[in-house]
A and B are shown apart, each in its own frame.
Chain A
């Protein structure tokens, strides 16, 4: 590795630096413990846990509001996030804004920030990007039906032993393990 870096310095070709210059991720049990402390702190301060899907719902309500304030205030779903005309003053949206900063800091420190597409070797970038969009759409519907996602249901509800959250978590893994074989070309 040090050899190829030296080589790339000699030739002056930045792209010759191998992707393996990223620092390794932390031990999952240690990160899990830290994430648990963040979740615990969130509970202690706010009385509610973490969440992520609500931020997307708030942005959707804001877009609906720009198009038509009356519609955003009367649509049964948008109205919950419209917040009297200030949908972007959303707790979850600010949480995710902070998460962006935290992830960026961690990524810079770990030398993992690069403009790239995450995919297996047997799928093209464009196909992977289409599947990412489709997956996001499907996941949004699932999160709306289940009233939460991996953050709001699995982590947050799981830690207070919420029955619905535990059922959600089992269902998520059941579906993903069941479908993994059929989409293996995207990842392996």
Chain B
């Protein structure tokens, strides 16, 4: 039954209208969380405000539990969901480079849009840097894509690698979130002196 895309062929117009609609929810959540502000985002790396981890982790766990529950009652076919092939070397290297860009630039690609929407000039510069960056990647190092494809391990999920059901991982992630939530509130108390005044 779900995903809808497996049974319905969306026209381009409908597909793009859905993107706009889902995007409104996406952007609303990002700004509501404070992710239109680079200082709020980078606060997570100085431990005085862990909102980034709280929001991301809660979102991941919510979607994970939802996907598992829908597939357990037979409404959703998990095999129909797109899975980006794993390439461990590329994801470690790309992740490290991306993390450097995040702490230097103060945003990630999605949050820079929330920043621009609320008038942050630095968000605009980050997005311009992103655009020049992806352009440079295409022009200067198009060969990296071929290397990533040739060396990828392929589709890998924790359930497929371990043989354990997605439900066990969902349970473990929920338990970890509760524990981490307690730990993060302690961290925020300890490093609260770094929090900007006013």
Which A residues lie at the B interface, using CB under 8 A?
18-20, 25-26, 28-29, 31-50, 52-53, 55-57, 59-61, 63-64, 75-78, 80, 89, 91-92, 94-107, 110, 112-121, 125, 128-155, 157-180, 183-184, 186-188
Let me know if B98 and A35 touch, CB within 8 A. Answer: no
Contact between chains at B104 and A151 (CB < 8 Å): no
Q: Which 4 A-B pairs have the closest CB atoms?
A: A135-B105, A98-B23, A136-B129, A36-B62
B95 and A175 form a contact (CB under 8 A) = yes
CA distance A6 to B136 in the complex (A): 52
Q: Is B63 a contact of A36 with CB atoms below 8 Å?
A: yes
Q: Complex: how many Å from CA A42 to CA B76?
A: 13
Q: Which residues of the other chain, A, contact B16 by a CB distance below 8 angstroms?
A: 89, 91, 94
User: Is A136 in contact with B5, judged by CB distance below 8 angstroms?
Assistant: no
B interface list, Cβ under 8 A from A: 2-6, 12, 15-34, 36-40, 42-43, 45-46, 50-51, 54-64, 66-67, 70, 76, 78, 80-88, 90-123, 125-139, 142-146, 148, 153, 156-159, 161, 166, 169, 181, 194, 196, 198
- A44 CA to B111 CA, complexed, in Å: 23
Q: Is A184 in contact with B46, judged by CB distance below 8 angstroms? A: yes
Tell me the total A-B contact number using a CB cutoff of 8 A.
528
A187 adjacent to B46 (CB under 8 Å): yes
- Pick the contact of B27: A20, A101, A129 (CB < 8 A): A101
Q: Which secondary structure dominates where chain B touches chain A?
A: helix
9 A-B interface contacts by CB (under 8 A): A34-B32, A38-B29, A135-B126, A157-B83, A161-B166, A168-B91, A171-B93, A171-B96, A176-B45
Listed residue (A100, A135, A170) with the most chain B CB atoms within 10 angstroms of its CB: A135
Q: Is the interface of A mostly helix, strand, loop or mixed?
A: helix
Q: Which residues of A contact B139 (CB under 8 A)?
A: 75
Given known pairs A75-B142, A146-B98, A163-B157, the reply for A103 and B108 (CB within 8 Å) is no
Q: Assess the A175–B99 pair: CB atoms within 8 A.
A: yes
Q: Chain B contacts of A59 at CB under 8 A?
A: 131
Contact of A135 with B101 at beta-carbon distance under 8 Å, contacts A120-B39, A142-B96 already known: yes
* A135/B26 in contact, CB under 8 A: no
Q: How many angstroms between the C-alpha atoms of A161 and B157 in the bound complex?
A: 5
Closest residue on chain A to residue B41 by CB atoms:
A118
The interface residues of chain A lying within 8 Å CB-to-CB of B117 are 99-101, 103-104, 107, 113
